[in-house]
């Protein structure tokens, strides 16, 4: 399963080996100062939009990049489980990172703590 890691002043979104194969990417990186919002969304399928590059079966799995106007999203979403959504500043390479993770509330708290330490 994909994971988020705070390393120095960056947020690293890492895909597992299987996700790399299905999503046609290894993950993504953003600077912590590019993060606008960090939240948990109960049903990430309601916010997915655009053309997918990677693997996808509706309400089962979507891995890869969602190409859309206004910015692309990097996604690793499974079933109808809650997901962490990281919204980035305008001008960042991506608009959002969206991932189903084992403990989304804990991941959000960790990222918010890293952001708070920067201020």
Where do the structural domains in the chain lie, given as residue ranges?
3-118
Residues 6+ positions from 13 with CB-CB distance below 8 Å: 2, 3, 4, 27, 28, 29, 30, 74, 86, 97, 99
- 3-118 folds as PH-domain like (2.30.29)
pLDDT digits (tens, 9 = 90+) for 7-38: 999 999 999 999 999 999 999 999 999 999 99
pLDDT digits (tens, 9 = 90+) for 85-119: 999 999 999 999 999 999 999 999 999 999 998 76
């Amino acid at each position: 399963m994909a994971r988020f890691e705070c390393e120095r002043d960056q947020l690293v979104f890492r895909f597992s080996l299987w996700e790399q194969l299905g999503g046609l990417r290894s993950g993504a990186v953003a600077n912590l100062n590019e993060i606008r919002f960090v939240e948990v969304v109960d049903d990430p399928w309601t916010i997915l939009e655009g053309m997918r590059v990677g693997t996808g079966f509706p309400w089962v799995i979507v891995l890869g990049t969602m190409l859309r106007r206004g910015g692309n999203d990097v996604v690793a979403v499974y079933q109808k489980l809650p997901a962490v959504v990281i919204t980035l500043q305008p001008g960042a390479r991506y608009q959002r990172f969206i991932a189903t993770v084992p403990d989304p509330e804990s991941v959000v708290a960790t990222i918010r703590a890293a952001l708070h330490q920067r201020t």
